[in-house]
Amino acid sequence: MKYVEYAAFNKPEGCFICDAVKSEDPDEKFVLHRDEKTVIIMNIYPYNTGHILIAPVRHVANLEDLSLDEIKSMGVILQKSILLLKKVLKPDGFNVGLNLGRVAGAGLEDHLHFHVVPRWNGDTNFMPIIANTKVIPEAIRETFLKLKKGEEGIFNVEP
């Protein structure tokens, strides 16, 4: 409901990804990892527990505008993020994707980002159908803290 009310009455200004990158308190913005090319943040309006976003640090909208180094960095971080989510949350699978352009579902179309959504057998239920409500079984802050604790060493090792 928080998202529905926000989206209905507010047009976001600026870029929440750039805000997270520049934040003096990355934990407040749910930044799991940041290096010179790539940032990982928790989706604060998740589709499922552990839903993360992987984005270039540079504010860029189009896949074709990424440098080769940015593409490589995002690929490595995507790989390591999936390893982290497997280690900590033990999902049965993942949805990984990009929404390029508003018509494709991009809520933030000016800053390219991958969605990584952990999935478990039986994680969908009747609530979205009958109540237009998504049930997330764990608070985002709790998931964030688990992932921060579990990431030790994962992003510092070559793939």
Break the chain down into helix, strand, coil percent, rounded to 5: 40, 15, 45
Dist. CA 120–CA 157, nearest whole Å: 27
Dist. CA 128–CA 145, nearest whole Å: 27
DSSP label of 94: E
Q: Which residues are catalytic?
A: 113
